[in-house]
Amino acid sequence: MAHWNAVRVIAVVAVSLILAACNKPRPTTAQSTAVQAQPPTTPVAAPPAAAQQDSAPVPTVTLANSEKINSLLQAARGKVLVINVWATYCIPCIEEMPELATFYKDRDPQRIEFLSLSADGPVALEDAVKPFSAEKQLPFPVHVLDELPPDELVKLIGANASGWDGELPATFVFDATGALKKYWLERVHLNDLSAAVTGALPS
């Protein structure tokens, strides 16, 4: 389990470029003629897999301040809402992503909403969150929290009862009225999440 305020160490590797002069004898006329007589090299076609990868949809990754989060919460009213808070430097967060992706794709969008909130911060949006989201081919939009600390976020989403103070990952399930029904301050598994959401749906 990681923590929102943990120190992240970024290793910077310096690469030195060495320029060297080469003194080679000029080729003779016979050698030059032999080189020119060689048939042109046939270009190698790019593998089909590369084209498929390029055509993969790019996940939406945007910044989200308190106003944006509040608008997303209002838009989800009347639905069961799942909120997952994670970060690219959190190992359990990375491990649970495939199951969250499956949950998102299999959910009923008319009754269930899913919000993915990245705690990486604005400085990591381009260099960390976007590449990660593209590599994992996340099917859901990712909202990178814009200088929104845990104590403010937990109040904003209405999860005070969870006692959450920044542990990552964290997943919260709210019913259609906005009441907190279930939460995990650790990695969540698909079966447990699906069961909690099913239980929160109106009968």
- Tens of pLDDT along the chain (203 residues) come to 676 665 333 332 332 333 333 344 444 444 433 334 444 444 444 444 444 444 556 789 999 999 999 999 999 999 999 999 999 999 999 999 999 999 999 999 999 999 999 999 999 999 999 999 999 999 999 999 998 999 999 999 999 999 999 999 999 999 999 999 999 999 999 999 999 999 999 98
Q: What is the pLDDT of residue 203?
A: 80
CA 155 from chain center: how many Å?
24
Q: What is the pLDDT of residue 1?
A: 67
Structural domain total, the chain: 1
101's CB contacts (< 8 A; 6+ apart) are 136, 137, 138, 139, 140
Tell me if 47 is assigned to some domain. Answer: no
Tell me if 113 is assigned to some domain. Answer: yes
Q: Is the dihedral of CA 47, 48, 51, 53 positive or negative?
A: negative
Tell me if 130 is assigned to some domain. Answer: yes
Tell me if 64 is assigned to some domain. Answer: yes
Q: Tell me how far apart the terminal alpha carbons of the chain are, to the nearest angstrom.
A: 35
Q: What is the pLDDT of residue 147?
A: 86
Residue-number span of the structural domain to which 135 is assigned: 58-200
Tell me if 43 is assigned to some domain. Answer: no
Tell me if 18 is assigned to some domain. Answer: no
State how beta strands 170-174 and 180-184 pair.
Answer: antiparallel
Q: What is the pLDDT of residue 117?
A: 98
Is the Cβ–Cβ distance between 135 and 97 less than 8 Å? no
Q: What is the pLDDT of residue 4?
A: 66
**Cis before residue 169, ω within 30 degrees of 0?**
yes
Structure tokens at 171: 């997943």
Instruction: Name the nearest CA neighbour of 179 among 164, 159, 202, 150.
Output: 159
Q: What is the pLDDT of residue 5?
A: 61
Tell me if 51 is assigned to some domain. Answer: no
Tell me if 28 is assigned to some domain. Answer: no
Read off the DSSP letter of residue 168: E
State the CATH number of the domain containing residue 138: 3.40.30.10
Instruction: Name the nearest CA neighbour of 82 among 105, 116, 52.
Output: 116
